[in-house]
């Protein structure tokens, strides 16, 4: 179950704005969770438009390993859009990726320490503005 989600767009986003959003979200949800069944996910959502491009090979072979190395998350799940809800319709998103952390503090530290480098790599594989959403899940 997902709840207490915060959404940020990367278009004119500075790393400071992202951290303020993550910190504010954490404060509103009671901060770092001590329940071992709860995880925190940073979802990176890449809309698909008529003019958008997305280099899946680069994303999987270069960007995702960079995120794994720098963020050291519990797991990363990449989902490539194949269709919209209606038969034959294009997917509204090219890719939706969930980066899972054991605690909100781990997520905040990863973004504070290495977020600029990860965000700086985005133009190497897409020309769209990524959306970031912080999710809390009781697994």
C-alpha 129/C-alpha 63 separation (Å) is 16
Q: Which structural domain range is residue 102 located in?
A: 2-138
> Which comes out higher in pLDDT, residue 16 or 73?
73
Provide the CATH number for the domain around residue 101: 3.30.70.100
Q: Mean pLDDT score of the chain, rounded to an integer?
A: 83
Give, in order, the Cα–Cα distances in Å from 4 to each of 31, 40, 135: 12, 11, 7
**Count of structural domains within the chain:** 1
For 104-116, write each residue's pLDDT tens digit.
999 999 999 999 9
For 27-75, write each residue's pLDDT tens digit.
444 444 445 689 999 999 999 999 999 999 999 999 999 999 999 999 9
């Amino acid at each position: 179950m997902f709840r207490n989600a915060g959404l940020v767009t990367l278009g004119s986003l500075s790393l400071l704005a992202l951290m303020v959003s993550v910190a504010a979200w954490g404060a509103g949800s009671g901060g770092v969770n001590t329940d071992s069944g709860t995880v925190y996910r940073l979802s990176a959502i890449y809309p698909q438009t008529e003019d958008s491009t997305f280099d899946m090979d680069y994303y999987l072979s270069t960007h995702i390993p960079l995120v794994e190395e720098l963020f050291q998350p519990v797991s990363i799940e990449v989902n490539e859009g194949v269709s919209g809800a209606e038969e034959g319709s294009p997917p509204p998103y090219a890719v939706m990726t969930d980066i899972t952390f054991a605690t909100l503090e781990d997520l905040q530290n990863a973004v504070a320490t290495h977020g600029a480098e990860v965000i700086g790599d985005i133009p190497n594989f897409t020309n769209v503005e990524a959306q970031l959403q912080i999710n809390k899940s009781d697994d």
